Amino acid sequence: MKQSKSTIEKLDQKVDKLANTIDKLALRVDKLAGSVENLAIITKKGFDEVDKRFKEVDKRFDLVDKRLNNLDRGHEDLKLRLDNVAYRFELKELDKRVALLEKKAKFS
């Protein structure tokens, strides 16, 4: 009987140690779960900040697009104006031809 009592006591001690170990592991798991949750919160905040910055960049790109469109329109207006203007070398050539014609017609 004595031997079975000591075996029961040993088993009881081992069960107690095992229970303590399980309790410690449960605390660690809770702590890790809290750490994972905190990490998730921090990550979400980081993504929210990046999203906010992207929205600001999108607004800036919209402004740049508007400015480029205005430049394109201005460039087209200038091109149309220049297409209707005689170039200097053409004017000089025409001047020479008129002078020659006037000379032949004796207007000068």
* Digit-coded pLDDT (tens) for 1-13: 566 778 889 898 9
CA within 13 Å, CB half, 94: 6
- CB-based contacts of 108, cutoff 8 Å, min separation 6: 99, 102
- CB-based contacts of 77, cutoff 8 Å, min separation 6: none
Q: Would you place residue 42 in the very low, low, confident or very high pLDDT band (cuts 50, 70, 90)?
A: very high
> Residues 37, 43, 46, 48: what is their CA dihedral angle, to the nearest 10 degrees?
-80
Q: Could you give the CA distance from residue 25 to residue 86 in angstroms, rounded to a whole number? A: 91
For residue 25, the one-letter residue type is L
* Digit-coded pLDDT (tens) for 49-96: 999 999 999 999 999 999 999 999 888 888 877 777 777 788 889 999
Q: Could you give the CA distance from residue 87 to residue 93 in angstroms, rounded to a whole number? A: 10
Q: How much is the CA Rg of the chain, to the nearest whole Å?
A: 46
Domain range annotation of the chain? 2-105
Q: Could you give the CA distance from residue 89 to residue 99 in angstroms, rounded to a whole number? A: 15
- The answer on pLDDT for 24 being more than 90 is yes
